[in-house]
C-alpha cells in the first residue's frame, strides 16, 4: 500500500507550550512537523524563526521538520534554518529573485529542498527544476493563515503534477497544504498527494490521536 504521511502544521499549535504540544502530536501519530515561517511581507502574517526551530530540536523532537518558508529575502534565512535543524526547506518561487540559485544554496548545505506553488502559481517552473528538487508542495489555500477552506481547483493541479511525476518517472513526494479535513483527504489522496499538511483540523481537536486516526481511516478506504 502507498505510504501516506501526515505533517501537522504547528501554525495552529499552542505557542505557550509549543514543545509539549509538538511532542504530543508526534506521539499521537504525526509523521513529520510542518514549520510555517511568515514574514508579514510575502504573506500577511508573522510567525516564528530559526531560534524556535532550534529550541524544538533541543526539546527532543526527532521526526523530520519541514520548514515552509513564506518570506521575502529568503536566501538570508536559509543557513540559519539549516543550522537550527531543518530537514527540508520549502521555498516559493515568488519570494526569491533567483529560484535556481536558492535551490542550490539549500542543497549545497546538505538540506532537502521543496518548491511551493500557490493556487495561481503556474507549474511551468517545474520544467527547469524538477530534476533537482526533493519535494513539491501544492498550496490548496492562499498562504498566510490556517483554518481556510480548501480551494477545489487544487485537485486538478494535484492530478496534473502526479501525471507529470509518473511520466518523467520521478519519485519525489507531493505535499498538499491547506484546508485538509477528514471529509476531503481521500479525494486529495486519490488525486495524487503523498504528504498532507494539516493544521487546524488536528490542533483544534480535543484528541489528536483520535483525529489522526480518523484521517488514516479515510486513507485506507
Ligand atoms: C497556510 C500554511 C498552512 C496552514 C494549514 O499558509 O502554510 O501550513 O497552517 O492550516 P490548515 O490545515 O488549518 O489549513
Ligand atoms: Zn505551510
What pLDDT score does 107 carry?
A: 98
Ligand 2 geometric centre to CA of 197 (Å): 7
Q: What atom of ligand 1 comes closest to residue 43's alpha carbon?
A: 6
> Which has the closest alpha carbon to 87: 58, 62, 60?
62
Residues with CB under 6 A from ligand 1: 9, 11-12, 34, 36, 68, 141, 143-144, 146-148, 177-180, 197-201
**173 within 8 A of 163, measured Cβ to Cβ:** no
Report the domain count for the chain.
1
CA-CA distance, 219 to 1, in Å (whole number)? 10
**Measured in angstroms, how far is the CA atom of residue 11 from the centroid of ligand 1?**
7
pLDDT above 80: residue 1: no
55 has a pLDDT exceeding 90:
yes
Cβ neighbors of 44 (< 8 A, separation 6 or more) are 144
Q: What's the CA gap between 92 and 203, in Å, rounded?
A: 25
Of 15, 137, 177, 193, the one to substitute when testing ligand 1's pocket (max ligand atoms within 8 A of C-beta) is: 177
Which domain covers residue 84, as residue numbers? 5-219
Q: What is the pLDDT of residues 67-114, one digit of tens each?
A: 999 999 999 999 999 999 999 999 999 999 999 999 999 999 999 999
pLDDT band at 2 (very low <50, low <70, confident <90, very high): confident
Q: What three-state secondary structure class fits 18? A: helix
Domain harbouring 25, CATH code: 3.20.20.70
Distance CA 161, CA 138 (A): 9
Show Cβ contacts of residue 124 under 8 Å, excluding neighbours closer than 6 positions.
none
> For a pLDDT cut of 70, what percent of the chain falls above it?
100
157: helix, strand or coil: helix
Interface predicted TM-score (ipTM) of this complex, two decimals? 0.99
Q: Mention every residue, 6+ apart, whose C-beta is less than 8 A from residue 86.
A: 35, 53, 65, 66, 67, 111
Contact (Cβ atoms closer than 8 angstroms) between residue 31 and residue 5 = yes
Q: How many angstroms is it from 127 CA to the middle of ligand 2?
A: 23
> Closest Cα to atom 4, ligand 1: which residue?
146
- Could you tell me which residues come within 8 angstroms of residue 31 by beta carbon, excluding any fewer than 6 positions away? 5, 6, 7, 63, 64
Q: Is 147 annotated as a binding residue?
A: yes
- Give residue 96's pLDDT: 97
Amino acid at each position: 500500500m502507498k505510504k501516506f504521511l501526515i505533517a501537522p502544521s504547528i501554525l495552529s499549535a499552542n505557542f505557550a507550550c509549543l514543545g509539549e504540544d509538538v511532542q504530543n502530536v508526534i506521539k499521537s501519530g504525526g509523521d513529520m512537523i510542518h514549520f510555517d515561517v511568515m514574514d508579514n511581507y510575502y504573506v500577511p502574517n508573522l510567525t516564528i524563526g530559526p531560534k524556535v526551530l532550534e529550541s524544538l530540536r533541543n526539546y527532543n523532537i526527532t521526526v523530520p521538520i519541514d520548514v515552509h518558508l513564506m518570506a521575502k529575502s529568503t536566501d538570508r534565512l536559509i543557513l540559519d534554518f539549516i543550522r537550527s535543524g531543518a530537514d527540508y526547506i520549502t521555498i516559493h518561487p515568488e519570494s526569491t529573485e533567483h529560484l535556481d540559485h536558492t535551490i542550490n544554496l539549500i542543497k549545497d548545505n546538505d538540506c532537502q529542498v521543496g518548491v511551493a506553488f500557490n493556487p495561481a502559481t503556474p507549474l511551468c517552473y517545474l520544467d527547469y527544476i524538477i530534476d533537482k528538487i526533493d519535494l513539491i508542495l501544492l498550496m490548496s489555500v492562499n498562504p498566510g493563515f490556517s483554518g481556510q477552506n480548501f480551494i477545489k481547483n487544487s485537485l486538478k493541479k494535484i492530478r496534473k503534477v502526479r501525471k507529470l511525476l509518473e511520466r518523467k518517472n520521478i519519485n519525489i513526494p507531493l505535499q498538499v497544504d491547506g484546508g485538509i479535513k477528514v471529509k476531503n483527504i481521500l479525494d486529495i489522496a486519490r488525486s495524487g498527494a503523498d504528504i498532507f499538511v494539516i493544521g487546524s483540523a488536528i490542533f483544534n481537536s480535543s484528541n489528536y490521536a483520535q483525529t489522526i486516526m480518523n484521517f488514516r481511516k479515510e486513507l485506507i478506504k
